[in-house]
A and B are shown apart, each in its own frame.
Chain A
């Protein structure tokens, strides 16, 4: 048997969902008897059948990937509940298995998948989607690229009326329907406390998470997920800040971005200059601006080489 064919056959068994009791299914997705299927490829030994040996890998696969998603999305788990979250993860991973060499990217398509499969979120769609977006932004902000920061001398070289500022790739901007930042911090705080907590303490913690989710009321917020000194922070920002930063990220000039930020703003025209100045000072202090790419900077064309 050719290597590629063998690997496809074994991978199909390894990646097929487990039973409710976390065992390998006796019947495969195409109706095949898995005992016979395993026996076709795997040798038995004096202690384990072919089925049991293949099952070790089937179980390891699911424990590993489910563990990865549970670690990355504790907030979504709190919203959906443990059992529903696990069932949802199994469905997601069955349709969207990992296509990356790193487990870090396991949840990269979860938001898009949930939008196509909203029944997993029941009547908490917006809340769950907000949380997934925040938790993915958290991952991106944690290890996203940091480009060289913008220096004041960089500004001198730029054409001010058409000035474009680039945001650090790790800065994530979110418009959310619920204050899920507070909820996620509460969930994470609960998870960070002692690993040696008693069952009673864990039960109280679980109830507290459920209460936190139950009492969460919709409230539009704008968030910048960023990092400072290598730690990730959730910073609430004003709608005008969000609009301005989003416009800059889309490549608009500062002039145009400011114009867009105040289109439907409640900030009085007289206060806008101070608002803009204060915002830019804050963002610069947080290191959110980076030097634009040489080839995107514009200005004088470079000499062609002979």
Chain B
């Protein structure tokens, strides 16, 4: 189960997000890390320091690309320039799979730079799946879509979020980047049981798992990636790997970033749950 066609039959272990604040530590101390996830858009440039750093990282570590602005769910066609640059980066990194979010964020060529929630309709599922196929065919690597945290729901929705996710990935025949923190955040914002979500996801399509921290406000929770992972999210992670097996796991920490060691130690807490779970057991 952990190595499947959606992560190109790899078995990557526990990784962390590659962030500029840790470059010096990584390049000078060369810590042992299973893999790094990069934000693709940060490296879809023509030259300079970011690509130089990336090339040095690639000499020593495995790297997987994660995007934030493909907007599979936007009604418009994919941006050709975006696709071309993304493919150049795929060739450079040799990423076994690429991921991006199951969301929308651009309209008529104008970008919000946010991960806006989808209306869970059959029309949206069909269009999104078509776009995922188009992107995958162009990039020639497996694509995994990530469930986002959301703060709003639409009247027009015809199904639950997990039903929509299933509809999309079945139609697109693509993988899932299961973000258990996002499931927790959305479950609190929309009053659903996160375990129902976890157990409804097709486990054999899970290519990767995200864990992260978030911020609580009076009336809602915001996905801020600026705290350690809380226990209820670890419990969801535990359930996810019971179903999907030892899947490539990645800790996201994007704001108020602590030292490399603190971030890595937080990610490695996943080992407690992985050790207690038998390899490849699907429930």
A contact set with B: CB distance below 8 Å:
1-4, 6-8, 10-11, 14-15, 40-43, 45-48, 50, 52-54, 56-57, 60-61, 64-65, 68, 97-104, 142-146, 169-170, 227, 230-231
Contacts and interface: CB of A to CB of B under 8 A. Distances in A.
B75 A7 contact: yes
A45 B50 CA distance: 43
Given A3-B127, A41-B154, A46-B191, 8 more contacts: A3-B124, A4-B76, A10-B116, A15-B110, A45-B191, A101-B79, A102-B41, A227-B48
Contacts of A43: 152-155
Contact of A143 (B47, B119, B121): B47
Contacts of B156: 1, 6, 41
A7 B112 CA distance: 11
B47 A97 contact: no
Contacts of B111: 97-101
A306 B69 CA distance: 45
Interface string B81-93: 1100000000000
Nearest to A53: B152
Nearest to B48: A143
B50 A143 contact: yes
A6 B154 contact: yes
B104 interface: yes
A96 to B, nearest CB: 10
A15 B112 contact: yes
Nearest to A169: B46
Given A3-B127, A7-B74, A98-B111, A42 B155 contact: yes
Contacts of A103: 113
A64 B46 contact: no
B246 to A, nearest CB: 33
Nearest to A168: B47
A8 B107 contact: yes
Given A3-B75, A7-B75, A57-B151, A98 B113 contact: yes
A101 B75 contact: no
Given A48-B219, A56-B152, A144 B127 contact: no
A64 B114 contact: yes
Contacts of B104: 7
A142 B46 contact: no
B108 interface: yes
B151 A3 contact: no
A63 to B, nearest CB: 10
A56 B220 contact: yes
Nearest to B125: A3
B46 A48 contact: no
Contact of A146 (B47, B151, B219): B47
Nearest to A104: B45
A143 B46 contact: yes
Which residue, of A15, A56, A64, has the highest number of chain B Cβ atoms within 10 A? A56
Contacts of B189: 45
A230 B113 contact: no
A3 B74 CA distance: 8
A169 B119 CA distance: 43
Pick from B127, B152, B156 the residue with the most CB of A within 10 Å: B152
Given A2-B123, A102-B41, A103-B113, A54 B47 contact: no
B110 A170 contact: no
Nearest to B189: A45
A92 to B, nearest CB: 14
Contacts of A60: 114
Contacts of B155: 40-43
A43 B152 CA distance: 7
Nearest to B82: A101
Given A6-B154, A7-B74, A144-B47, A61 B113 contact: yes
Nearest to B218: A47
Name which of A4, A104, A169 has the most chain B CB atoms within 10 A of its CB.
Answer: A4
A234 B51 CA distance: 21
A8 B41 CA distance: 24
A68 B189 CA distance: 27
A15 B116 CA distance: 12
Contacts of B45: 104, 143
A8 B79 contact: no
Contacts of A170: 46-48
A54 B152 contact: yes
A26 to B, nearest CB: 18
Nearest to A48: B219
B49 interface: yes
Nearest to B86: A101
Contacts of B82: 101
